[in-house]
Structure 1
Amino acid sequence: MILGGFLLFSVSIGGAIAWVFSKLFQHTTQGLSLLCGGFLVGLLILDIIPSSFHLYKSFGLILGILIGYLIFQILNSLLHASHTQNPSVTLLAMAIIIHTIPISLTVGNLLGNSALSITITASIILHHLPEGFALSTALLSQGEKLWKLFLYFIAFSIFFSIFIQIGQYWELTEKAQGLLMGISIGLIATASISEFILHHFRSVTRKSFLTYILLGYFLSYVFHMLVE
């Protein structure tokens, strides 16, 4: 539960940074969506994809990415058909939770080693800042209230804590971890490109389109340098 609290603190900091940017772009929800899309693409290119292919076998990751893409297509059609207000946010939240499962289980396996406790805590605080920023930007671009954002963060930390507890008694195989990471990559990639970028391609000028995406990518680079 303590580590879940640290995660809540971490994503809240990322959310606070996103809130500042939402005030800068308060007159354009399209700009925030494009910023979020550029940030997510940068997060994938700079951090998630390279680290995943370094840790796991390519076959499991590629299979997971294909499964993630299929899940996105199915859920996206169901959510849009049911007139859900923010299908993009729901899909992104699912992707982030799936992405957290292997990490949470690994942390649970390492909790018995007291020498690693400080390292684990610092890693949680740093590595979940981007997730908090991305989810917050997505929510704020849809006009959601801050209290809903906080509910997402609480749910996120609860899931994290639960899987840490599970990780103390059950170790996920490397193949299964690679598959889950691939599914997460597939969901994040398709959601960011389809929902946050292409969906707003004709909503702004070409110059603004490139500016928002490149700004989002630059922010992902800044976060990447912070967690290195």
Structure 2
Amino acid sequence: MLELVAFILGGFLFLSVSAGGGIAWFVSKIFHGSNEGLALLCGGFLVGLLTLDIIPSALKMYQLLEIVLGILIGYIFLVAMHNFLFSSKSRKPSVYLITLALFIHTIPLSLTIGNLLGNSTFNVSITTSTILHHAPEGFALTSAFLSQGKKLIWLFLCFVGLSICFSAFIWIGYHVNLNIKAQSVLLGISIGLIGVTSVKEFILINIRVVPVRLFLTFLLTGYLLSVLFHLWL
């Protein structure tokens, strides 16, 4: 029974991120597929996602010191990845780091849901609402993939992988009680990766590539879209 519930919730998450991805694809058509514009759009959106949703929620639910420790670990990990795996001369944002960050961001949430499954106070409507909050992640991932010119089949596989990860950690959360400190560190790592990557790889790298007016237009549009998602969800 638990496996079925976890599978169903993972399916709902797939639909949620796919809906966000569909919106990102539609928005990309408005900007005529400008890679730099899409990168800035994604950067502005991710900054909005952090400031409006992820960070405020984290501060309410998790421990500040462990979150800060996680952010530091995420930053060190990002620097190490850049030094050993990614070219510093590339003007393309790192889809891989954003993907990894969003996967990690899913873990504390799914563990919490797994812990609640055996609780009489488990509320399906709250869980469904939480899953809908992954639509912005689908938007962010799709914007990143489109801006880097990646094939959409990899985006589809990423959505599937995110759903499987979600279901798997729901199952783990039901059987293993990961303490709040560990979850706080994981969320901090996610925040660190998303924050530094969005600013460095999506925004600053294009500051001299795009005219100032267009730079601000794309950036503010991305942020305003995150505001709309926040109000909608």
**TM-score calculated relative to the size of structure 1:** 0.94
Which amino acid in the other structure matches residue 105 of structure 2? H
Q: Which residue in 1 is equivalent to 2:195?
A: 189
Q: Deviations over 1:24-54 (max 9, x none)?
A: 1224110000000000001111111111112
Q: Deviations over 1:176-197 (max 9, x none)?
A: 1111111110000011001100
The CA distance in 2 between the partners of 1:157 and 1:39, in whole Å, is 22
Which amino acid in the other structure matches residue 35 of structure 1? L
Q: Shift of residue 82 of structure 1?
A: 11
Q: Which residue in 2 is equivalent to 1:142?
A: 148
Q: Which residue in 2 is equivalent to 1:116?
A: 123
Q: Which residue in 1 is equivalent to 2:4?
A: none
The CA distance in 2 between the partners of 1:193 and 1:30, in whole Å, is 14
The CA distance in 2 between the partners of 1:182 and 1:168, in whole Å, is 22
Q: Which runs of 4+ in 1 moved over 3 A?
A: 81-87
The question of whether the paired residues in 1 share the 8 Å contact of 2:93 and 2:202 is answered with no
Query: Counterparts in 2 of 1:14-25, with a 5 A limit?
Result: 14-25=20-31
The alignment's C-alpha RMSD in Å is 1.9
Aligned length: 226
Deviates more, 1:93-102 or 1:75-84: 75-84
Q: Which residue in 2 is equivalent to 1:176?
A: 182
Which amino acid in the other structure matches residue 63 of structure 1? L
Q: Which residue in 2 is equivalent to 1:88?
A: 94
Question: Identity over the aligned pairs, expressed in percent?
Answer: 55
The CA distance in 2 between the partners of 1:15 and 1:78, in whole Å, is 30
Q: Name structure 1 gaps, 5 residues minimum.
A: none
Which amino acid in the other structure matches residue 22 of structure 2? A
Q: Shift of residue 86 of structure 1?
A: 6.4
